[in-house]
């Protein structure tokens, strides 16, 4: 049975939709945005949502966003927990412009997917983990 995602629109952008077979859903700029290189702006995505209970949303730029507009998502990724669900809890894209750019209203600039919340963990301090080392962070152990 499909999970219900309630969406409230704050402007006349195209409605969000899940493309069959895709795990990610595009989000759009809810405003025309003019940025100069080095500027920061929280771009409104024009929606508030109520996520299904026990889920959170992960937001990332679309693969074409940097090439088209030269903007970066300043935190690298956005996380929206399911308590951010009020009528005026409008989702945003915190953007940093690497060059002068214009982003038109309704441009698809990022995407999201919902994920189940992490289960509760019992954190245990130990002296030894007892596993083989992989030769450092970022290495597969093969050279």
Residue-wise pLDDT for 101-133, tens only, equals 999 999 999 999 999 999 999 999 999 999 888
Name which CATH class applies to 24-116.
mainly beta
Residue-wise pLDDT for 66-89, tens only, equals 999 999 999 889 999 999 999 999
Q: What amino acid positions are annotated as catalytic residues? A: 81
Secondary structure in 3-state letters for the chain: CCCCCEEEECCCCCCCCCCCCCCCEEEECCCCEEECCCCEEEEECCEEEECCCCEEEEEEECCCHHHHHCEEECCCCEEECCCCCCCCCCCEEEEEECCCEEECCCCEEEEEEEEECCCCCCCCCCCCCCCCCCCCCCCCCCC
The two structure tokens encoding residue 8 = 């409230």
Residue 133 has a pLDDT of 81
* Residue extents of the structural domains in the chain: 24-116
Which of 98, 41, 37, 90 is CA-nearest to residue 66?
98
CB 54 within 8 A of CB 117: yes
Burial class of residue 120 (count of CB atoms within 10 Å of its CB; 0-12, 13-18, 19+):
exposed
Higher-confidence residue: 92 or 133?
Answer: 92
CB 4 within 8 A of CB 52: yes
């Amino acid at each position: 049975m499909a999970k219900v995602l309630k969406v409230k629109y704050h402007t006349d952008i195209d409605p969000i939709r899940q493309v069959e077979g895709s795990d990610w859903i595009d989000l759009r700029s809810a405003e025309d945005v003019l940025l100069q290189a080095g500027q920061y702006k929280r771009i409104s995505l024009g929606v508030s949502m109520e996520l299904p209970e026990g889920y959170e949303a992960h937001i990332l730029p679309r693969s074409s966003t940097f090439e088209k507009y030269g903007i970066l998502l300043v935190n690298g990724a956005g996380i929206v927990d399911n308590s951010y669900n009020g009528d005026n809890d409008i989702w945003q894209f915190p953007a940093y412009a690497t060059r002068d750019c214009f982003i038109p209203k309704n441009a698809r600039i990022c995407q999201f997917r919902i994920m189940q919340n992490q289960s509760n963990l019992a954190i245990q301090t130990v002296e030894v983990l007892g596993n083989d080392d992989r030769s450092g962070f970022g290495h597969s152990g093969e050279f």
